[in-house]
Amino acid sequence: MGTRANPAFAVGAVAVPLAVLAYAVLAPAPVQIHTYAHVMAGVLWTGTDLFMALVLGPVLGGLSVEERASVFERFTPKMTFLMPALALVTIAGGITLAERLGYFPHADPWLALFTAASLVPAVLLIGRQFGAFRDRRWQAAFGVVAVGSAAWLALTLPDFAMTRPVIVVSLGIVALLSVLGFGVLMPGEVRMYREMTSADPDPNVISRIGMRNAKLSGVQGALQLAVIAAMVYLRWGGF
């Protein structure tokens, strides 16, 4: 997939956002740079999703199945590298920034809940999309996720205490975004790639999954706008 995406683009789309996140969180960089990394990744993530839903989706809807498939064959490999990196930097950057600024008290048990609510459904959806429930590799991955999530919950829940309501709302929305992105959209892109590289690619399959992903990008964009609204309330004295 990296070859189809252009190797330089694939490396840059992943390495640059992750390097910025690592510098912001681990250095640690000045809070302004941490804020910039989080906000800019979020802007790019949200803007790309809204563009796909509001502009690209309707344009592709007017094309023939073969023409849509041809666009997705060029578009999908790049998105497979870019969007997960932007999502990861936005989410991780936002959580660490909230902790750094003191907006996220009692973070550990809430992060354990957030991780379980994000990873377990996402891995289940991946297994469903690929029909992998009987595959030992998927079973092993699901076992690691389930046991790891349960262990973290067991360690942190005794210290559970209420955090800010706006943080609870934001975590819930971001969990939905994570499940949708990593459990539905990204596996869909992998399925399209597998179809593209098969011996006899079916344009109908590529077109159908691609248009589904474009529509779901609109749902992603709406959820991201809701998170932005919550962050505005948090920053400027809301609930």
pLDDT in tens, 66-119: 999 999 988 888 999 999 999 999 999 999 999 999 899 999 999 999 999 999
- Does 45 map to a domain? yes
Helix (H) / strand (E) containing 126: helix 107-129
Residues 6+ apart with CB under 8 A from 231: 94, 170
Whole-angstrom distance, CA of residue 170 vs CA of residue 38: 15
Local structure of residue 101 (DSSP, 8 states): T
pTM, full prediction:
0.91
Biggest alpha carbon–alpha carbon distance for the chain: 58
- Does 34 map to a domain? yes
- Does 37 map to a domain? yes
CA 227 to chain centre: 14
- Does 135 map to a domain? no
Whole-angstrom distance, CA of residue 53 vs CA of residue 71: 15
- Does 98 map to a domain? yes
Whole-angstrom distance, CA of residue 145 vs CA of residue 178: 15
* Residue 104: C-alpha distances to residues 15, 27, 40, 170 (Å): 28, 20, 21, 11
Average pLDDT over residues 132-151: 96
Amino acid letter, residue 165: P
- Does 156 map to a domain? no
Region of residue 77 (left: phi > 0; alpha: psi -120 to 50; beta: else): alpha
* Residue 85: C-alpha distances to residues 27, 88, 224 (Å): 20, 5, 16
Whole-angstrom distance, CA of residue 202 vs CA of residue 32: 48
Mean pLDDT of all residues in the chain?
91
Domain holding 201, by residue range, is 2-105+163-235
Whole-angstrom distance, CA of residue 66 vs CA of residue 85: 29
Name the residue with tokens 């749902």.
Answer: 219
- Does 137 map to a domain? no
What pLDDT sits at residue 5? 80
- Does 139 map to a domain? no
Tens digit of pLDDT for each residue in 179-226? 999 999 999 999 999 999 998 999 999 999 999 999 999 999 999 999
pLDDT at 238 over 80: no
What pLDDT sits at residue 239? 44
Number of structural domains (the chain) is: 1
